[in-house]
């Protein structure tokens, strides 16, 4: 598997989800196991630049694909612009959903779907925040988009 720019050779049962491979086999614990049903978005990662819920994906399906987790967003130790904006806007409370929210936001901007408040609400709707930090999450995304920061990978 190619994860965050590094190649890994892994052996696991064919039924192992991508989320479990990342967490249990590679020790990348940013993606969280929330609902384990693909409904909350806490496990969102990027595969070839597109966001997916990793709890519903079988790891074996992604051999030869580029997987990016929240741990892979930093560039030479510098946080990604969305990571910085989330911190500035206090776009988290408990922080459990934050990695998935950030990964969705990265993809949202790369897809060109962060043009309006309504777009952000619609295209981030697959990521649930039980603490209710939605207004701060949207503010962080709007800041990065309005500053013209390239939040894609």
d(C-alpha 130, C-alpha 20), whole Å: 22
Tell me the per-residue pLDDT of 10-25, one tens digit each, with 9 for 90 and over.
999 999 999 999 999 9
pTM of the shown model? 0.93
Helix (H, G, I), strand (E, B) or coil at 86: helix
Chain centroid, CA 26 distance in Å: 17
Cβ neighbours of 112 (radius 10 Å): 10
Residue 102 is predicted with a pLDDT of 97
Query: Would you state the structure tokens that stand for residue 20, as one six-digit string?
Result: 């479990």
Query: Would you state the structure tokens that stand for residue 105, as one six-digit string?
Result: 């936001």
Question: What tens-digit pLDDT sequence spans the chain (153 residues)?
Answer: 999 999 999 999 999 999 999 999 999 999 999 999 999 999 999 999 999 999 999 999 999 999 999 999 999 999 999 999 999 999 988 999 999 999 999 999 999 989 899 999 999 999 999 999 999 999 999 999 988 766 555
Inter-residue contact 37 to 104 (CB < 8 Å): no
Cα angle 69-74-80, degrees, rounded to a multiple of 5: 100
Q: Structural domains in the chain? A: 2-71 (3.10.20.30), 81-146 (1.10.150.120)
């Amino acid at each position: 598997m190619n994860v965050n720019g590094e190649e890994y050779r892994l052996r696991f049962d064919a039924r192992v989800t991508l989320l479990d491979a990342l967490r249990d086999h590679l020790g990348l614990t940013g993606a969280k196991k929330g609902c384990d049903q693909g409904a909350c978005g806490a496990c969102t990662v990027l595969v070839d630049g597109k966001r997916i819920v990793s709890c519903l994906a079988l790891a074996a399906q992604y051999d030869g694909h580029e997987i990016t987790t929240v741990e892979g967003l930093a560039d030479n130790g510098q946080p990604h612009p969305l990571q910085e904006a989330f911190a500035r806007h206090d776009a988290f409370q408990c922080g459990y959903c934050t990695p998935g929210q950030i990964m969705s936001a990265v993809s949202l901007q790369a897809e060109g779907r962060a043009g309006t408040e309504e777009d952000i609400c619609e295209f981030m709707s697959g990521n649930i925040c039980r603490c209710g930090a939605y207004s701060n999450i949207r503010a962080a995304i709007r800041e990065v988009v309005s500053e013209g920061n390239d939040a894609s990978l």
